[in-house]
Structure 1
Amino acid sequence: MSRSLAIAILAGLLISCSSEERALGPDLPQTAPNGRTDPRISIAENNFYQISQGGRYFSWYGCNGCHHAGAPISLDAPTPEKRRSFTFIYSAIANGHPGLGFGVSIPSEQIWQLTAYVRDLPRHHEEKIDRLNDDQSSEPSGRIWKGPL
């Protein structure tokens, strides 16, 4: 194998790992998004690990009790673009469930991950849904989460 081919393969491997990067601790967002142009949005949405964690929390917190696979996630917004926006979905999770107040009981960084997962849902094809269901079959799951005990 030529040296340039080996360097190209190594560079490709290093570059491809960025979408799996895992940040733990204070690097995760601690506050709500600051509008559509918040640079943290693209970081959350382009990171497979953050989206995957959002899927775990979707099950853990019992979101799938009402919003099961294939069911629409109904969000009241004046326009379809706003309904799909990261900031609107974040706000709907944090503040939009009457009487549940998820924003005070679910940490902000987890709401970021949940939002990234919800925004990724339209890209879920049958095989991906099956894989996610298999991955999460042994995870704890709430029927409908009511907050910490």
Structure 2
Amino acid sequence: MKARLACLLLAATALAACEREERHFRAEVRNATGGETAVRRSSNQPGMALGGMVKLAERNISMYDDNAFALNEGKRLYRWYNCSACHANGGGNIGPALMDSQWVYGSDPQSIFASIVQGRPNGMPSFGGHIPEDQVWKIVAYVRSMGGGVRSDVAPSRTDSLYSGKPENFRSPQPAIQKGTSEAEQALEPR
């Protein structure tokens, strides 16, 4: 009887300790403005060009930073939408690096969302209207994981490609420094 009770307690303890993260397959919080109010900052667009405005992030949060499934989906979408053609595996190529501390337009979720949706002058295409909002947020979460911006237990661990760098869950967080601002000025700014 005691052995059976001990086995049940051991099994219950093991099951309780196995929770890594909750799986939310849809964003519980919508984080975009109600209407399309922002202008595109780039006329470059994938496929057929769309006219009109785009939505922006309403709050500076990423709904998927704590969701391992969504981060892995973001990694898949990053490759699927060919982000690696310009940004390589985050180390930069013809586009800026995404895993260092130098960010031209900001490394917070709201800024990354705006960069993807609006595009940026002289290079970054506007993907607003071409990529569903939910997928943009998954890419945002993955981009943040490249610079160590998410917990290591939810960051993707390895790639099936021949990338020789460290996987995302082994990278240390990089403090964001916007270009054109010295590190001393960045230290004085409120966060």
Report the TM-score, using the length of structure 2 for normalisation: 0.52
Report the counterpart of residue 87 of structure 1 in structure 2.
110
Report the counterpart of residue 110 of structure 1 in structure 2.
135
Mapped pair 1:33 → 2:33: no
**C-alpha spacing 1:65/1:129, structure 2 compared with 1 (3 Å):** farther
Distance 1:4 1:91 in 2: 50
Report the counterpart of residue 60 of structure 1 in structure 2.
80
Aligned length, in residue pairs? 120
- What percentage of residue pairs aligned between the two structures are identical? 23
Q: Deviations for 1:94-122, whole angstroms, at most 9, x for unmatched residues?
A: 11244832012111001000100000002
- The higher-RCO structure (CA 8 Å, 6+ apart) is 1
**C-alpha spacing 1:87/1:61, structure 2 compared with 1 (3 Å):** same
**C-alpha spacing 1:46/1:28, structure 2 compared with 1 (3 Å):** same
The higher radius of gyration belongs to 2
Contact 1:44 1:50 in 2 (8 A): yes
Question: 1 or 2, which has the higher helix percentage?
Answer: 1
- Amino acid aligned to 1:131: R
Q: What SS class does the counterpart of residue 161 from structure 2 fall into?
A: helix
In the TM superposition, what are the counterparts of 1:97-136 in structure 2 within 5 Å? 97-98=120-121, 100-123=125-148, 131-134=158-161
Structure 2 stretches lacking a partner, 5+ long: 33-55, 163-191
**C-alpha spacing 1:129/1:10, structure 2 compared with 1 (3 Å):** closer
